[in-house]
Chains A and B, each alone.
Chain A
Amino acid sequence: MHQLTDKKMIWLEQKANEIRQSIIEMLVEAKSGHTAGPLGMADIFTALYFHILKHDPTNPMWEDRDRLILSNGHICPVLYAAMAHSGYFKLEELKTLRKFGSRLQGHPHREFLPFVETSSGPLGLGLSQAVGMCLADKMDNDKYSGKQFYCLMSDGELQEGNIWEGIMLATKEKLQNLTVIIDRNNIQISGYTEDIMPLEPLKQKWQAFNWQVQSIDGHNFQEIVGAVGEAQAVFDKPSVIIANTIPGKGVSFMERKYEWHGKPPNKEEGEKALNELRNINVK
């Protein structure tokens, strides 16, 4: 991973803004889907697809690619948009989201779009799959394989028990090539996580399971890239980055509102959102 220059950072901010616009356009067209999560994770996906990941959009099944496992499949509009912007498929295809026959299923399905590392949607399943991938890689290559395994999760899905089974195994197997990024946006479908089922003290929970833990601003590219670099430097331990994000980030009337977790903007709201995004003053 290269160092993040100021010039590159400005470029990434611009790219994240384009991805947010694509997310709004897709959701308006689809007339259903999730809005807040994808907007909140746009910076992290941009950092991953355009700076961090070792991947080749012209050769998606490249054996030595890093693996990105999206556990909370419902935020797939940001995954699809990041993939399209980096060249896995044409931007026009984004408009087919959730439509009959589309490769862009409402929740990712590997049979339709083999470039995704797994199908997802039912919560709490991604981490263990990432653990399995990392474990298989370690078996073949010892611990020093060049591949990195990134699992992206929501905070709400930490309420699933399967996650904690995966956490324990990753520690036991010393999976140092595994990095989890949690979208800590504090909302889930019915309300705020701390009202529905409190997750705090979250940092201490992961520490107690003997993971390396970092907490960052999920909209700050320096912090995102720095934390991933830090995670990769850790020896014999898996890493988790708790990325504090603003759900709905970039659109004033969506920010921090759990009501936008599971619904799309209508045409009017979409126009309003796109106007805001187009006028954000990128440094």
Chain B
Amino acid sequence: MLNNKLKLNNKMFSQDIEQIPIRQGFGEGLVIAGDNDKNVVGLCADLSDSTKMNLFAEKYPERFIQIGVAEQNLATVASGMAAMGKIPFISSYAMFNPGRNWEQIRTTICYNDMPVKIVGSHAGVSVGPDGGTHQAIEDIAIMRVLPNMIVLSPCDAIEAKKATIVAAKINKPVYLRLAREKTPVITTEETPFEIGKARIFFVPPMQAQVAIMATGALVYNAIIAAQRFAEKGISVKVLNISSIRPLDFEAIIDLAKEAGAVVSVEEHQVVGGLGSAIAEVLAQNYPTPMELIGIHNKFGQSGTPAELIEHYHMGISYIEKAVEKVMERKSQG
């Protein structure tokens, strides 16, 4: 049922599927981006090990700048470097970059259209024990609202690596959203990745009855939920949306037309995130019943990632319930 054309991980449904933190993919991707272009520079706010920028810093110490705990400076200094032809990647926890330095990003990066790459690691509640202060669940909203900004939310470490390499090549501001925890690797090196393109990862052979549109680490949960429905003879397709801006309108509308019911899945506030973005597209093009999986008007708290994903109703069983509910709404017409 996995989309064979996309060369996804064939161990998807096995217990021993490989798990790697998404941020690891960024760290490896940045080294490759640095190999490709000498103008790539790395700036970090005292968290280079956590964000995995240390890999770049070790290979290219002369192109790495330690800014200290000063995220506002991180963004503004990067803007100045970009004005001189550099391609700066700036990294910290998503809560502080772009959380703390939003206005600096708006004025000095987006308003100037500077190709600075904002890397927010530790996004979502699955940061875990650190608690709510460190769990960025608003970052997609505040980044996708900015003109000129591209917003990428990779589903695993391999996609994060590709997103990083592509981000370096595009002459625009980019926000790259990363998660801290080990995440099942669902793509392979051969899986295509393109900014502005969403792809159907899970395709039962029949016409879809419900479409799940997911982003980030929860794409895995969405696929497992869809697989369970497939076993019951219900056709649920899963669209991976790693490019939240630009958004693949065509893929979203086409799949909504086919399924007639949509569930969005994201580890983010449902206000302003992927679910909202999909609703904006569908409301204007093809109004479709929708259920939104994500965080509903709450802050995070301490716990294990698994506990928190369940507590905030983003686990597999909740995705299944949302699918059933939206199917019911569809049948009521």
Contact = CB atoms under 8 A, between A and B. Distances in A.
Nearest to B70: A165
A136 B72 contact: no
Given A110-B112, A162-B104, A169 B84 contact: no
A125 B77 CA distance: 9
Interface residues of B, number: 28
Contact of B84 (A121, A122, A133, A166): A133
Nearest to B75: A128
B72 A132 contact: no
Given A132-B77, A169-B67, A125 B83 contact: no
Interface string A88-124: 0000000000000000000001110000011111100
B65 interface: yes
B81 A133 contact: yes
Interface string B66-89: 011010110011111111111010
Given A110-B112, A119-B112, A169 B83 contact: no
Nearest to B83: A133
B107 A132 contact: no
A162 B76 contact: yes
A155 interface: no
Contacts of A120: 107
A168 B68 contact: yes
Contacts of B113: 111
Contact of B83 (A118, A122, A161): A118
Interface in B103-123: 103-104, 107-108, 111-113
B112 A169 contact: no
Contact of A118 (B70, B86, B108): B108
A208 interface: no
A110 B79 CA distance: 13
Contact of B76 (A125, A136, A140, A173): A125
B78 A132 contact: yes
A107 to B, nearest CB: 10
B158 interface: no
Contacts of A168: 68, 70
Given A118-B112, A121-B107, A161 B81 contact: no
Contact of A133 (B65, B72, B80, B103): B80
A181 interface: no
B63 interface: yes
A139 B80 contact: no
Contacts of B111: 109-111, 119
B72 A129 contact: no
Given A129-B108, A162-B104, A118 B77 contact: no
Nearest to B65: A135
Nearest to B82: A132
Contacts of B76: 125, 128-129, 131-132, 162, 166
A75 interface: no
Nearest to B76: A128
Nearest to B116: A132
A25 interface: no
B62 interface: yes
A137 B70 CA distance: 22
A130 interface: yes
A139 B72 contact: no
B41 interface: yes
17 contacts: A111-B113, A118-B79, A122-B107, A125-B104, A128-B76, A128-B79, A129-B79, A129-B83, A131-B80, A132-B77, A132-B82, A132-B88, A162-B72, A165-B72, A165-B73, A166-B73, A168-B70
Q: Which 9 A-B pairs have the closest CB atoms?
A: A132-B80, A128-B76, A165-B73, A136-B84, A129-B80, A132-B77, A165-B70, A133-B80, A132-B81
Given A117-B83, A136-B80, A162-B104, 19 more contacts: A69-B80, A111-B112, A118-B80, A119-B108, A120-B107, A128-B76, A128-B80, A129-B80, A132-B78, A132-B79, A132-B80, A132-B81, A133-B83, A135-B77, A165-B68, A165-B70, A169-B67, A169-B68, A173-B65
